[in-house]
Structure 1
Amino acid sequence: MEADDTDTTGDTAHLDPLMHVAQPDHPDVVAVARAEAGRAVRDIGHALVGHHVPVAFLEEFTAALDGLTAHLLQGEPRSRSQVRQEGQWGEPPADGDVMTTYDERPVSGRGSPWGLDIEVRRDGDEAVATLTLRAAHEGAPDRSHGGIVAALFDDVYGFVLALLAQPGFTGELGIRYVAGVPIGVPLECRVRMDRQEGRKLFMSGELRDGDTVLATSTATFITIPRELFYSGQEG
């Protein structure tokens, strides 16, 4: 990427306005760069799965990726506990607000190589995700793999925990597949907590294409103290 001629540091890239007010190693700049890298990896996966290309190109492509992987492996190891967000269990978002999470969250994180590129908003006591599945999500022809749907529900339920400002883990997840989930069509996944019994949170949700219900789900989450959540221990 070209440097911004108006930037006084001389090496700030065109990724985000944050990069014009922060140094290259500032956490905000690193987060934006990692998010863009995650987006690029996702796009590569869908492009690879969804297109025919010559074998010679695939061989060159593989060699280039192997070289980049070797370079990444030279970096310092990272873990969730090292990059935890102190404010994750603070005040819940206002009604209608976009809900954010840690960048490497596998399904919804903006820096996740496996992400579904979803946007989640609060709608009253519900978390509502919008998304469009792509080529690498395909199972049956023109339909999503069922495991993608299960992962989507599991992840979006986690945003209900954010509404409650309460850490927890999945105890049980049930999916009923009502109809094939299409690729390349805008979808909505809507979930909420139905009731609480002690440490158990009982939740439910639906995945829709417009007015058509494609899948329904129920789940039980188990609450856990914040200090145990960040320690990696189970309550």
Structure 2
Amino acid sequence: MWKEGREVRGEVIFSPTYAGPPDSVHGGIIAAVFDELLSMANIITGKAGFTGTLSIKYRRKTPLNTPIQLWGANVRQTGRRQFGRAEMRVNGEVTASAEGLFIGAAIPTGLGSKS
């Protein structure tokens, strides 16, 4: 994944390890990728947060062994609440999209010490 302005973009190819329905990516994997993508979109705006809700629309099968384009952005903030949108595309067609609500939290500045 990489940052483009206030958006996060990426490309991924899912191997058969991530299969759900025949020749398609498992919906749970898609959800996990969206959660991570939207979290990164929050972080680049300086507003990390915990996932409050994540709503996914599975529009068509997301194929295995095919380049999948990822897009995500923090689209609005209200107090500690951050709202994001994301999409997965294959050859320009949306295979899945997501909307998420994240609750703001302090961004860690480093790793803690081992006790």
TM over 0.5: yes
| Partner-residue secondary structure (3-state), 1:175 | strand
In structure 1, the partner of 2:32 is 151
1:156 CA drift (Å): 0.8
In structure 1, the partner of 2:4 is 123
| Partner-residue secondary structure (3-state), 2:103 | strand
Counterpart amino acid of 2:21?
A: A
Alpha-carbon distance in 2 for matches of 1:146, 1:225: 30
Alpha-carbon distance in 1 for matches of 2:107, 2:97: 30
Q: CA RMSD in A?
A: 1.5
Q: 1:199 aligns with which of 76, 80, 85?
A: 80
The percentage of counterpart residues that share the same residue type is 30
> Which protein has the larger Cα radius of gyration, Structure 1 or Structure 2?
1
Which has the bigger relative contact order, CA under 8 A and spacing at least 6?
2
Alpha-carbon distance in 1 for matches of 2:90, 2:106: 37
1:210 CA drift (Å): 1.7
In structure 1, the partner of 2:97 is 216
Give the alignment's TM-score, normalised by structure 1: 0.45
Counterpart amino acid of 1:136?
A: T
Shift in CA distance, 196/134, structure 1 to aligned 2, threshold 3 Å: same
* 1:3-57 superposed Cα distances (whole Å, 9 cap, x missing partner): xxxxxxxxxxxxxxxxxxxxxxxxxxxxxxxxxxxxxxxxxxxxxxxxxxxxxxx
* 1:90-121 superposed Cα distances (whole Å, 9 cap, x missing partner): xxxxxxxxxxxxxxxxxxxxxxxxxxxxxx01
* 1:43-77 superposed Cα distances (whole Å, 9 cap, x missing partner): xxxxxxxxxxxxxxxxxxxxxxxxxxxxxxxxxxx
- Larger strand fraction of residues: 2
1:172 CA drift (Å): 0.5
In structure 2, the partner of 1:170 is 51
Would you say the 8 A contact 2:42–2:82 is kept in 1?
Answer: no
Alpha-carbon distance in 2 for matches of 1:153, 1:130: 13
Query: How many residues end up aligned between the 2 structures?
Result: 110
Unaligned runs of 5+ in 2: none
Q: Which runs of 4+ in 1 moved over 6 A?
A: none
